[in-house]
Amino acid sequence: MNAVPRAQAAPAGSRLAALNAWVDEVAALTRPDRVHWCDGSDEEYASLVAGMLADGTLVELDQATHPGCYLHRSDPDDVARVEHLTFVCSRERDDAGPNNHWMAPEQAHARMDALFEGCMRGRTLYVVPYCMGPIDSPLARCGVEITDSPYVVANMRLMTRMGADALARIERDGAQGRPFVRGLHSIGELDPDRRFIMHFPEELAIKSYGSGYGGNALLGKKCHALRIASWQARQEGWLAEHMLILGLEDPQGATHYIAAAFPSACGKTNLAMLIPPESYRERGWKVWTVGDDICWMHPGQDGRLWAINPEAGYFGVAPGTSARTNPNALAMIQRDTIYTNVAVTEDNQPWWEGLDKRVPALDWRGRPFDPANGPAAHPNARFTVSARQCPSWSPRAEDPNGVPISAIVFGGRRSTVMPLVFEARDWAHGVRVGAAMGSETTAAATGTVGVMRRDPMAMKPFCGYHFGDYFAHWLSFDRPGAKLPKIFHVNWFRKDEDGRFLWPGFGENMRVLEWIVGRVEGAADAVDSPIGLLPAPHMLDLDGLDVSAETMRQLLYVDAEELASGSGWAADLPPPSQH
């Protein structure tokens, strides 16, 4: 049979009987008026946008300054991930672990199917085939999301390889017995009391109801590429992690790839797109962006870890993004971007706190801006954009074999205790460092902002199985023949007694990255400390930086007693008697 030409619209239906049967089964349950199989074409995207402009789901932004840019205003009760409504429904409760909410699979299916029953009446059911990772990569995995939200479809097209090519791969995989992940999503009534995000790792299935927002609804992202994939990765001997991937090119033209885990809204996008300070640029340093949120790492034949970014776009936090903090991001979101919950200026341009000195006209809810109502943009306002629009986008993001990882970096928001940077003594110590990670909470999830919580490897909301098994899985990579990355911990967020950040961050983080790569190459020195290896004096290049010697001392200060105390490592470990 001849292959379907790529430009041609995907047929209604698939050559994969199992997929057709599932779509029929879901349609029988949800009762949509129409079923649309997405082909991922420009025409399809344009017609989805036209429909959403017509019904108010999207608002057009100034097309002269921001061509192809639109604004979506979420329901005010649907603006972040909902960890308390997110479940891992493994057969055995213990497999989900203390880090996940759990429900028995039969009970969860019954609960969800009752919500889904008839929920798509009057709506279109979209079948969204997607591929996480380069379409021809052996490391990539596919899924199909069924959704009744055209906003989700449009976002999935930017965030994943979505459409006819993905469907063709799903059919090829299916013919060889390799299953796809089944994600069923409905915005339902957007009622927080009728909202659940359920994962069935043993069935490679996801059911999400009642939210149209980000990681709750774009099922390729946290649900598939982290919760389900981490479960698969453990079974198959690889790692699915909440990490950015960047390439650091040195003046000799050699590039080291670094994977870095930070909790949501702690600057992964900024670090992934870093522009080095001028003195570094003059010498030829350059940062390449492979990914800003998720990293799948596989041990290669050569013993190294090889990584792909399963995503094809960025769902980045808008507030704080500016020409100073992330010029690459600002450049890439001037066109063909979907904005969610930002404010707008009088001349209908997107605006958020930290962007510039203009005064917004309407806040994120579309009300005339009044500071008494809080920030103009929601603190978790986002942009969705194709990765290729980033000026620092690495062509290696399309390499089917991925990129070799030289260093893994863990970090969180810690106003106290944790130094600017340190290196773990070895792999096992590095796993310990990642496991003990903590961070002050952000607006990326509903709940109180700014309280310290433990977030091992930045995976607390995303690890799809028992954290004990997860740490053991990490430790298992240290075996004969392995050439593992060195592990580091960074903290850009330490504050002085007056609550001011000690470190300037953003592009200046390059100075820390240089030391990290120097350690990997054996060219940079370190000194021992109670927590790990710190940069030896003068090993951080501070040329052109206005940071005093006293501030540097505070930034690298490690206090063994403080570490062992309530605010340090031991913070919420149970007392020894409970072990």
Closer to Mn ion at the Cβ: 264 or 325?
264
Closer to ligand SAT at the Cβ: 134 or 215?
215
Q: Say if strands 70-72 and 338-340 run parallel, antiparallel, or are unpaired.
A: parallel
Stretch that binds ligand SAT, among 140-148, 172-180, 214-222, 506-514 (CB under 6 A): 214-222
For 123, 290, 356, 372, 401, the CA distances from 248, given in Å and listed in that order, are: 47, 11, 29, 44, 18
- Least Cα distance to 333 among 153, 74, 44, 68 occurs for 68
Closer to Mn ion at the Cβ: 241 or 293?
293
Helix axes 42-55, 150-159, angle to 10 degrees: 140
Closer to ligand SAT at the Cβ: 221 or 234?
221
Token representation of residue 85: 């409504």
Interaction pattern, residues 256-285, with Mn ion; x per rule: CB under 5 A: --------x---------------------
Return the SS3 of 316: strand
Phi, psi of 337 (to 5 degrees): -130, 140
Q: Does 414 bind ligand SAT (CB under 6 A)?
A: no
d(CA 172, CA 176): 7
Q: Does 183 bind ligand SAT (CB under 6 A)?
A: no
Q: How far is the CB of 372 from ligand SAT (least distance, A)?
A: 28
d(CA 279, CA 324): 16
Stretch that binds ligand SAT, among 213-221, 336-344, 395-403, 417-425 (CB under 6 A): 213-221
Q: Using CB atoms, what's the residue nearest to ligand SAT?
A: 215
Residues 6+ away with beta carbon under 8 Å from 197: 82, 85, 86, 87, 206, 208, 211, 216, 223
d(CA 575, CA 27): 52
Closer to ligand SAT at the Cβ: 446 or 551?
446
Amino acid at 399: D
d(CA 72, CA 57): 6
Using CB under 5 A, count the residues that bind Mn ion: 2
Closer to Mn ion at the Cβ: 376 or 445?
445
- HSE on the CB side for 243, CA within 13 Å? 26
Q: How far is the CB of 295 from ligand SAT (least distance, A)?
A: 13
In the region spanning residues 282 to 301, those forming contacts with Mn ion, defined by CB under 5 A, are 293
Q: Does 81 bind ligand SAT (CB under 6 A)?
A: yes
Handedness of CA 476, 480, 484, 486 (dihedral sign): positive
Q: Does 272 bind ligand SAT (CB under 6 A)?
A: no
d(CA 140, CA 317): 26
Q: How far is the CB of 124 from Mn ion (least distance, A)?
A: 29
Q: Does 73 bind ligand SAT (CB under 6 A)?
A: no
Q: What is the 3-state secondary structure (H, E, C) of 12-51?
A: CCCCCHHHHHHHHHHHHHHCCCEEEECCCCHHHHHHHHHH
Closer to ligand SAT at the Cβ: 71 or 261?
261
d(CA 55, CA 123): 13
Q: How far is the CB of 215 from ligand SAT (least distance, A)?
A: 2
d(CA 371, CA 181): 44
In the region spanning residues 459 to 518, those forming contacts with Mn ion, defined by CB under 5 A, are none
Closer to ligand SAT at the Cβ: 294 or 343?
294
Token representation of residue 476: 């298992």
Q: Does 169 bind ligand SAT (CB under 6 A)?
A: no
What are the residue numbers of the active site? 266
With CB cut-offs between 5 and 8 Å by kind, which of Mn ion, ligand SAT, none does residue 221 bind?
Answer: ligand SAT
Which residue is it, tokens 């962006």? 289
Of the candidate residues 221, 396, 432, 473, the single one contacting ligand SAT (CB under 6 A) = 221
Which residue is it, tokens 């052109």? 544
In the region spanning residues 443 to 472, those forming contacts with ligand SAT, defined by CB under 6 A, are 444
Interaction pattern, residues 225-264, with ligand SAT; x per rule: CB under 6 A: ---------------------------------------x
Stretch that binds ligand SAT, among 68-76, 202-210, 215-223, 497-505 (CB under 6 A): 215-223
Q: How far is the CB of 256 from Mn ion (least distance, A)?
A: 23
Amino acid at 561: E
Q: Does 214 bind ligand SAT (CB under 6 A)?
A: yes
Q: How far is the CB of 262 from Mn ion (least distance, A)?
A: 8
Q: How far is the CB of 484 from ligand SAT (least distance, A)?
A: 26
Q: How far is the CB of 458 from Mn ion (least distance, A)?
A: 8
With CB cut-offs between 5 and 8 Å by kind, which of Mn ion, ligand SAT, none does residue 214 bind?
Answer: ligand SAT
List the beta strands (DSSP E) in 341-462. 343-344, 350-351, 382-386, 403-411, 421-423, 438-440, 452-454
Token representation of residue 481: 């023949």
User: Which alpha helices (H) appear in 146-254, and where do they start and end?
Assistant: 150-159, 164-175, 214-217, 229-236
Contact 321, 329 (CB under 8 A): yes
Q: What is the 3-state secondary structure (H, E, C) of 228-262?
A: HHHHHHHHHCCEEECEEEEEEECCCCCEEEEEEEC
Q: Does 517 bind ligand SAT (CB under 6 A)?
A: no
With CB cut-offs between 5 and 8 Å by kind, which of Mn ion, ligand SAT, none does residue 81 bind?
Answer: ligand SAT
Q: Does 315 bind ligand SAT (CB under 6 A)?
A: yes
Q: How far is the CB of 387 from ligand SAT (least distance, A)?
A: 15
Closer to ligand SAT at the Cβ: 159 or 517?
159
Contact 8, 167 (CB under 8 A): no
Closer to ligand SAT at the Cβ: 145 or 514?
145
Of the candidate residues 40, 143, 174, 215, the single one contacting ligand SAT (CB under 6 A) = 215
Interaction pattern, residues 209-248, with Mn ion; x per rule: CB under 5 A: ----------------------------------------
Of the candidate residues 222, 227, 298, 511, the single one contacting ligand SAT (CB under 6 A) = 222
Binding site for Mn ion (CB under 5 A): 264, 293
Binding site for ligand SAT (CB under 6 A): 81, 214-215, 221-222, 264, 315, 444
